[in-house]
A and B are shown apart, each in its own frame.
Chain A
Amino acid sequence: MDLRLEAISHRYDALAVLDGVDLTARDGEILAIIGPSGCGKSTLLQIAGGLILPTSGRVTAAGAAPAGCLNPITYVFQDFALLPWRTVAGNVALALEHHPLSRAERGERVAAALARLGLAEFADALPRQLSGGMRQRVGIARALVVDPAVLLLDEPMSALDAQTRELLIEDFLGVWLQNRTTALYVTHNLAEALRLADRVAVFSRRPGRLTELVAVAVPQAERSGEAARLEIARIQDRLWELIRAEASAADREMADA
């Protein structure tokens, strides 16, 4: 399934955060969105999944959802958004409880999702007992348990330390390569975007506009290899050129100026 953002503009009262964004996440690709902080990329992602109504523009989807899909457009959140009073299995099951599934089927789906992220032995643990990386694995398992058609990931790694992030990126990529679910991946981390994305959408500072779309021609599976290093580094330099001035200007902005 693809997801098309058409002429999206959004403002919070007097503050314009997004200005005329046209962007399509193609079927089966990871489209990363990078830009300076406060450029409206999180807002755009919330608009994409119908959690915020844009001031103008519309979001459309086309194509078939995978078999057994219960929630076509599904989020993974920056702060994990786990229920602290539920176990790991209970948190994953939350996404299924309002669907008419048999007890056994629900149990099977939860167990399968936990197994895919290596969480089987943590099924009865509470979120507070887990590290940040494991908590986000639960967040990803909860997203996968509904067999989504489009994944919306809102800086899923930014609450994690650098080492945990590296490990989780590889795990996420491994899981993603099995299904190649269409994904919109918001991040402010260039290396992360270049490890995962098929294309990178570069945004300007507020009000966020799409300034450039950069394709990453190297397949994800080959990117950590020696041969691809140079090409990836070249794209990373180019992206940094594109956002450096914007990021610097955004950094010097005052909140209410």
Chain B
Amino acid sequence: MPEDGTTASPARRPVPFRGGGFIVRPQRIVGSVGLIALVALWQLGSTRGWISPLMAPAPSEVIAALVVIAQDGTLATHLLASLGRIGGGWALGTLAGLAAGLAMGIFSLARAVGLPVVSALFPIPKIALLPLLILWFGIGEPSKVATIALGTFFPTVIATFSGVDGVPRSLIRMAQSFGVPPARIVWSIVLPGALPGILAGFRITASIALILVVAAEMIGAEYGIGAFILQAGNLMRTDQLLAGVVVLSILGLLVAGTLSWAERVLLRWR
């Protein structure tokens, strides 16, 4: 053995690097390039006549249709009708869901009663209840709002309940050891602790509300994005139909963006 302690061997082999891959790096520019390329390809296909204008109009025509309905007020009428239903139904379902989920997270009795009920009713696609709700409330707004409220209620209950359940017992014990009254423990510890779960639930209920409002409007409504898309389809106005779809996509992105912003602000501590 040489003096420096290394092995006297004819060839020193390098230890190969084995730790590569499995790391996802953000690729911002590539992401938007992909989307733009897809739309450009579609535009190219339409202008070259590869794609039938009746089946799928060119993106430029969809944008043109969007501009027209935006200018003549059609979009505003339909959009406001949809937003009103979403807002009312989502607020109703969310408030009720928060109350029920909180009760189930805190009180054994509410949990024992509520869990089987929620488990049984949660899997029902709520749009299947719309005919029943129409019988109860009539064809007007209340049946649509009720459908959205029901659709958002159950996921909110489950998100709130599991959020409350996940608040560490040790924090509640700590507050009790300082003599913090129960109502204040709920307000200062249980609710903030459950907030990440509740906000994650909002993501789910926001998309459910969007699905349900379109479906309900397709079943029976004069105004609303869903009704607008259905009418456009009946008239074979695929440019307007797709313009309506684009509006829905933008709406979904806006809601998701708002929730991401809310999470950044409210959950800065994570």
Interface residues of A (CB under 8 A from B): 49, 51, 71, 73-75, 77, 79, 81, 83-86, 94-95, 97-98, 126-128, 142, 146
Contacts and interface: CB of A to CB of B under 8 A. Distances in A.
B178 A74 contact: yes
Interface in B164-190: 168, 170-171, 173-181, 184, 188-189
A92 to B, nearest CB: 11
A73 B179 CA distance: 10
B176 A94 contact: no
A81 B174 contact: yes
A255 B149 CA distance: 48
B173 A81 contact: yes
Interface of B: 168, 170-171, 173-181, 184, 188-189, 192-193, 195, 267-270
B170 A94 contact: no
A98 B177 contact: no
Grouping DSSP codes into helix (H, G, I), strand (E, B) and loop, the B interface class, with mixed when no group exceeds half, is helix
A75 B177 contact: yes
5 contacts: A51-B177, A81-B171, A81-B173, A94-B188, A97-B188
B269 A126 contact: yes
A246 B189 CA distance: 40
Nearest to A81: B174
A146 B170 contact: no
A98 B187 CA distance: 12
- The list of the 8 closest CB pairs from A to B, nearest first, reads A81-B174, A85-B269, A95-B178, A75-B177, A85-B192, A81-B170, A126-B269, A84-B269
Chain A CB count within 10 A is highest, among B178, B179, B184, B189, for B178
B192 A94 contact: no
B270 A98 contact: no
A98 B181 contact: yes
A183 to B, nearest CB: 15
B269 to A, nearest CB: 4
Given A97-B184, A98-B181, A83 B192 contact: yes
Contact of A94 (B168, B178, B181, B267): B178
Chain A CB count within 10 A is highest, among B173, B174, B267, for B174
Contacts of A128: 269-270
Nearest to B178: A95
A76 to B, nearest CB: 10
A75 B270 contact: no
A51 B176 contact: yes
Contacts of A77: 170, 174
A3 B267 CA distance: 41
A26 B179 CA distance: 24
A87 to B, nearest CB: 9
Contact of B177 (A74, A79, A86, A97): A74
Chain B CB count within 10 A is highest, among A77, A98, A126, A128, for A98
A132 to B, nearest CB: 16
